[in-house]
Amino acid sequence: MQVWRGYDNNNIWVSINNGAPLAWPNGQSYAAPQVVWTAYGFRVYHTGTDGHIYYAGLSYSGNGPSANLTALGGWQQVPNNVVTPNDSPPAVTALYNPGDSTSDPENGGESVYLAYRGANSTQIYGVYFYGVGSNRYPNNWHAPTAIPSATSEVAPSLAYNQSWNRIVMAWAGQDAHVWVASQIVGNSSWSAPDMVGTMQTVTRPALALTDDGAGQIAVVPYANGYSGGTTEFISIYRDSTRPAGVLYLLWTGEITGNNWTNIFLSSNNNDVYFNATNSLGYDYWKHTGSY
């Protein structure tokens, strides 16, 4: 499924398998939307033009580009004063806890974790949504909590790994370095932040984890007062000796060297894929690693 903000408007558009796009009614945003898969279909999250974060369901029938898309009700506002700058996207990841079948999207749940930058500060906050059975939608949000030592001028990125039941967050610190921290699902504490090499960025990093806990981080580099150029990637692996439980290898520049924006990583089984927008507003993707 593809979901995006219009190039010359604030509408949110969706498409399945590169089929005909559908403009989502009443969805207006200045930032890129996010999508996760749950037992009840896709859930799309976006930052409204008022800075509140909204979400709604989407189902589809059929296969390929001819699949039919159906919006499931209207947009729901995430409660408890979850507000971010109106040009800052939310970060959201679905939670699959192998020790609790009720939280698994394949067994009746649609639990997620959401992170965002505060509207009036650089503090990053996180909030759980536990959606199970008849209580799944829309009122099972917990109160947001500040993630310790996590501050940024831009939005963070999230990923969840089922095999070690941890949420991993990556963000661009106010020192422009890339940082990560992790949390066991349901715990109140986070690991100490861990700096990912010496690469610097002032835009949102991209993050994805595969089924076995490995994955990638990607950034648009920042150096000498300039942000852009060759996108940089780094492979990550589980390592319990590191503060955030993640081992990093070396940053490697993208071969094609395009000046991308809105970079995003996703995973499928043990493969990682890169999506990004070029200067003309077109979206491209490619396979960037197998683990």
Residues 121-137 have pLDDT tens digits of 999 999 998 765 444 44
Candidates 236, 202, 206; CA nearest to 221 is 202
Lowest mean pLDDT among 112-116, 132-136, 244-248: 132-136
Candidates 3, 118, 136, 130; CA nearest to 52 is 118
Candidates 153, 130, 163; CA nearest to 267 is 163
Task: Measure the CA–CA gap between 283 and 291, rounded to whole angstroms.
Answer: 25
What is the pLDDT at residue 130? 78
Q: Is the pLDDT of residue 246 over 60?
A: yes
pTM (2 decimals)? Answer: 0.91
Q: Is the pLDDT of residue 210 over 90?
A: yes
What is the pLDDT at residue 79? 93
What backbone torsions phi and psi does residue 114 show, to the nearest 5 degrees?
-125, 135
Task: Measure the CA–CA gap between 165 and 216, rounded to whole angstroms.
Answer: 18
Q: Can you tell me which residue has the tokens 């189902």?
A: 59
Distances (CA, A) of 77 to 6, 141, 237, 239, 288: 21, 11, 35, 37, 35
- pLDDT class of 105 with cuts at 50, 70, 90: very low
What is the pLDDT at residue 38? 75
